[in-house]
Structure 1
Amino acid sequence: MNINMTFFGQMLSFVILIVFTMKFIWPPLNAALEERQKKIAEGLAAADRSQRDLAQAQEKANEALKDARVKANEIIDQAHARANQIVEAARNEAVAEANRQKDLAQEEIAAAANRAREELRKQVSALAVSGAEKLLHREIDPAAHRALLDELAAQI
């Protein structure tokens, strides 16, 4: 065997292998690699976009949470103010009712005092008439008058 011929045969088969690989194997392999690179680049771009979107969503959520807290505080303040108004109104109503009850009691006391005075006047006048009758029925004597007046005073 001749080494030169073997060498040329191996070179020729190698060149055929290279041409075949360049023509039929390399283009689909290169296309698959480029497609994979595009997909990876698109994935990275989508990841960046989603991170930006996530950051924006978190900012919006924080703003919404702040607004909700502000509104909740406003509602709580309004509720406290309304509760204070209700308590104040109830207090004023209770004071007015107490004053009304006090006025009624004072009127009742005054009426009872007037009735008692009238009753006392009636009794005094009856006693005076009774005493006058007794004086007129007895003889006129200053000592008897004095004793009778003392008795009347003790009854009054």
Structure 2
Amino acid sequence: MDINATLIGEMLSFAILIAFTVKFIWPNLTKAIEERQLKIADGLNAAEKARAELKDADAKVADEIRKARQQASEIIDKAQQQANQILDKAKADAVAEITRLKAAAQDDIASMAQRAREELRERVGALAVQGASKIVQREIDPAAHKTLLDQLATEI
């Protein structure tokens, strides 16, 4: 292998290329690589932070859902209690109304019975007068003998 001027020229141009690359290109490349590494690291940190925030948000959502379910359960319990109270009140009102209606019906029955007795007394009195007039063969004046008829009706 001969060392000639071509080989020395190639070695010299390769050395100049390496010196130029080390002085001008390499710092820019390392700077770009370092910036890219920082961006990647920042992105990973942001992703980790977002993951932690998401975990916190999930915990808060689960807590809010639990609270909402508990409140819904309390509202349902209160509504059930109110429904039971309304039902009990309605039953009590119905019983009171039935008792009132029963008492009113009993009063009506008693007053009707009293009227029927009075009417019966009057009819019996009228029949007694008619019977007596037939027996006596003369007519008795009901207006003239009203006190006597009233006394007879009360005795009956």
1:119-148: CA deviations, max 9, x gaps?
Answer: 22222333334444444559xxxxxxxxxx
Q: Partner residue of 1:126?
A: 126
Q: Partner residue of 1:43?
A: 43
- C-alpha distance in structure 1 between counterparts of 2:63 and 2:86, whole Å: 34
* Residue 55 (structure 1) aligned with residue 55 (structure 2): yes
SS at match of 2:19: helix
Q: Partner residue of 1:105?
A: 105
Query: Which amino acid in structure 1 is aligned with residue 101 of structure 2?
Result: Q
TM-score under structure 1 normalisation? 0.79
- C-alpha distance in structure 2 between counterparts of 1:105 and 1:68, whole Å: 54
The structure in which a higher percent of residues are helix is: 1
1:75-118: CA deviations, max 9, x gaps?
Answer: 11111111121122222212211211111111111001001111
TM-score under structure 2 normalisation? 0.79
Q: Larger deviation: 81-90 or 13-22?
A: 81-90
Q: Where do 5+ consecutive residues of structure 2 fail to align?
A: 139-155
The runs of 4+ residues in structure 1 deviating greater than 6 Å are: none
Q: Partner residue of 2:6?
A: 6
1:34-60: CA deviations, max 9, x gaps?
Answer: 000011111111111111111111111
Task: Say what the alpha-carbon RMSD is for the aligned residues.
Answer: 2.1
Shift of 1:28: 0.4
